[in-house]
Amino acid sequence: MNDLVYFLFITVLVSMIINTAIALYGVFAKPSLVKKFIALTIFSDSINSFAILIGFRRTPLGYSSIAVMPSLPQSPEDLKNFINTAVDPLPQALVLTAIVIGLAVNMFLVGLIILFHRYYGTTSVKRVRI
Amino acid sequence: MKLSDIIVGIAMALLAIMLSYLMVYGGLGPIASYNIRPLAVAFLNNTYNPWQKIYSALSPEAVTAIVWDYRGLDTYFETSVLFIAIVGLLALFRGANIVQGISSKGLSIIVKTSTKIIVPLILVAGASLAFHGHLSPGGGFQGGSFMTVATALLAVAFSIEFLQQKRLSLNTLLAIRCIGLLAIIIVSVYLLINAVLLGGYAYIFQNMQRLLFSPNSLVAVGISQYSMPYWFLDRPLGGILFFFNLSESIAVIGGLTLGAVLLLLRENELKAVIGGEERE
Amino acid sequence: MIELLPAIMAFGVALVSIIATWLAVQERDLLLATLFSALQSTCYALIYYLFMAPDIVLVYLPVSVGILPLITILLVKKTERYEE
């Protein structure tokens, strides 16, 4: 049973790597600027989810719990039980920052592409001579 | 079968080899094991610890305590990066403004009626997320993003000229963003100003009582006596976490709505202001 | 058997996300590519929920299924719809 759970988890991890490879191919090989922008957002999402999957924790029996205390601890025994079943909170805090910064840069990129189209008349990098 | 396609294929294979090497031999550590790292054990132990208050943040939510208390400077500079990106977007469309008198009335009446029902529900759910970010999953960014979905829906269903008539123009949204940033700055230096005026010592971004160190030594010489309020009627108030969540949600709702409204400006006025020049 | 349900759901949703990514990169009609990208983001949000990260779900859902498809559809409207 434990080997089955480990196999399913490794499948999710490998699918993130495959998504990263497909999105990188889309950024390099497609000549339209809007397609490059869509593939760039997929690439950054896959890298962020790769960071979250590292902080996951299995337990031998039952589920692991989220990083929030269910009730205020009354004795040090409650604190020890919470530490033994909770997942790692540090990658979630770092990925929170990364998602918001990615949104800010993507909004600026959309404005730049609109101005590029107005100046050159096209959004294909093959038909533009800078 | 061009040369560039072959190079792209070989680069993909090299990416697969290097990522597998990183996962097995690199310093990534064991993946999905039964124990967590010692740093995570230290964070989980100190996030609500009434028996060792000198290192604790006194809020039952570990992720919000890391984001706003243990690593507060990271989050402060991330907020300023979002602000700089919005200022850059304003500079790209400089000079353009919403023009009245265009006979556009938004979408049809069915869309308008259903939007009038849904927008208050979304606003209430987002405000609830921002208020209890220190007790359950939630916080400043989560509440602010929820509420900006509601205002973007308003800007699309009714038109942006309607928003301008109700005095929600570009300048008002920028003012809301700046008020949120000012609240963050005031809350972060509040204890330091208290210590300068009344005597004693305090840090910037200080939440609870912390140890004091003399310069260039690792020996603690005392305890700072200032701390933010950490209990409210019958439940923990996270101190500085509550005020940061409120200010951050106001700042996010102003900034992201401003970005959405700027991209909704009409083509005619944009062409009149930033019209393309002739190329030879 | 019932305690394997989160793992089996994550397995199925991850495979759907690979199909959605390939369709989004391959499509020539840019409006359909935006739709497939939003489908991939929904699959990722479900994976984040099943792996015990509720704070990330509450940020990822409005940002990647709400704001980003909105500004991408505005971008497609102001430039060209079919690539090349």
Residue B274: pLDDT over 80: no
**Mean pLDDT, rounded, of chain B:** 88
Interface probe, candidates A41, A115, A122, A126, chain C, greatest C C-beta count within 10 A: A41
Residue B27: pLDDT over 70: no
Average pLDDT on B64-68 reads 93
- 8 A C-beta contact, residue C13 and residue A17: no
- 8 A C-beta contact, residue B150 and residue B119: yes
- 8 A C-beta contact, residue B163 and residue B169: yes
Is the CB of A117 less than 8 angstroms away from the CB of C14?
no
Question: Which residues 45-74 on chain B approach chain A with CB closer than 8 angstroms?
Answer: 45, 47-49, 51, 60-63, 66-67, 71, 74
The model's pLDDT over C17-59, given as tens digits with 9 standing for 90+, comes to: 999 999 999 999 999 999 999 999 999 999 999 999 999 999 9
Gap between the Cα atoms of C55 and A93, Å rounded: 9
- Which among B57, B63, B239, B58 is positioned nearest to B141, based on CA atoms? B63
Is the CB of C76 less than 8 angstroms away from the CB of A34?
yes
Question: Which residues 12-71 on chain A approach chain B with CB closer than 8 angstroms?
Answer: 13, 17, 20-21, 24-25, 28-29, 53-60, 66-69
Q: Which chain B residue is nearest to residue C49, measuring alpha carbons?
A: B137
Residues in chain A with pLDDT values less than 70: 61-62
Alpha carbon A11 to its chain's center: 16
Gap between the Cα atoms of B196 and B9, Å rounded: 63
Q: What's the Cα-to-Cα distance from B60 to each of A77, B49, B276, rounded to whole Å?
A: 16, 9, 56
Helix locations, A30-125, DSSP H: 33-54, 76-85, 90-120
For residue C45, give every residue at least 6 positions away whose Cβ sits within 8 Å of its Cβ, in sequence order, or none.
Answer: C57, C60, C61, C64, C65
Work out the burial of residue A130: count CB atoms within 10 Å of its CB; fewer than 13 is exposed, 13-18 middle, 19 or more buried: exposed
Gap between the Cα atoms of B67 and C59, Å rounded: 14
Q: List the single range of A55-59, A89-93, B272-276, C5-9 with lowest mean pLDDT.
A: B272-276
Q: Which chain C residue is nearest to residue A47, measuring alpha carbons?
A: C44
Is residue C12 very low, low, confident or very high in pLDDT (cuts 50, 70, 90)? very high
Q: Which residue of C6, C56, C80 is in closest CB contact with A52?
A: C56
Is residue B279 very low, low, confident or very high in pLDDT (cuts 50, 70, 90)? very low
Gap between the Cα atoms of B141 and B92, Å rounded: 26
Which partners does chain A have (≥3 C-beta pairs < 8 Å)? B, C
The larger pLDDT score, comparing residue B30 to residue B238, is at B238
Q: List the single range of B28-37, B90-99, B142-151 with lowest mean pLDDT.
A: B28-37
- 8 A C-beta contact, residue A9 and residue B32: yes
Gap between the Cα atoms of B141 and B174, Å rounded: 18
Gap between the Cα atoms of B144 and B130, Å rounded: 7
Q: What is the DSSP string of chain B?
A: --HHHHHHHHHHHHHHHHHHHHHHTSTT--SS-SS--HHHHHHHHHSS-TT-TTS----SBHHHHIIIIITHHHHHHHHHHHHHHHHHHHHHTTT--PPTT-----S-HHHHHHHHHHHHHHHHHHHHHHHTTTTSS--HHHHHHHHHHHHHHHHHHS-HHHHHHTT--HHHHHHHHHHHHHHHHHHHTHHHHHHHHHSS---TT--S--EEE-TT--SEEEE-------EETTEE--THHHHHHHHHHHHHHHHHHHHHHHTT--HHHHHHHHPPPP--
What pLDDT score does B280 carry?
42
- 8 A C-beta contact, residue A41 and residue C60: no
- Residues of chain B contacting residue C63, judged by C-beta atoms under 8 Å apart: 145
- 8 A C-beta contact, residue C39 and residue C64: no
Q: Domain coordinates of chain C in residue numbers?
A: 2-78
Show the tokens assigned to A25: 């191919």
- Which among C49, B56, C15, B49 is positioned nearest to A8, based on CA atoms? C15
Secondary structure of B128-191 in HEC code, one letter for each residue: HHHHCCCCCCCCHHHHHHHHHHHHHHHHHHCCHHHHHHCCCCHHHHHHHHHHHHHHHHHHHCHH
Q: What is the ipTM of this complex?
A: 0.94
Which letter does DSSP use for residue A59 in this model? -
**pTM of the full structure:** 0.91
Q: Which chain B residue is nearest to residue C56, measuring alpha carbons?
A: B142
Please give the span between the terminal C-alpha atoms of chain B, in angstroms, as a whole number. 35
For strand B235-236 and strand B220-223, is the pairing parallel, antiparallel, or unpaired? unpaired
The model's pLDDT over B80-139, given as tens digits with 9 standing for 90+, comes to: 999 999 999 999 988 788 877 666 678 899 999 999 999 999 999 999 999 999 999 999
Which partners does chain C have (≥3 C-beta pairs < 8 Å)? A, B
Is the CB of A8 less than 8 angstroms away from the CB of C7?
yes
- 8 A C-beta contact, residue B243 and residue B187: yes
| High-pLDDT (> 90) share of chain B, % | 49
What pLDDT score does B230 carry?
87
Sign of the C-alpha dihedral, residues C48, B56, B145, A35?
Answer: negative
Alpha carbon B189 to its chain's center: 19
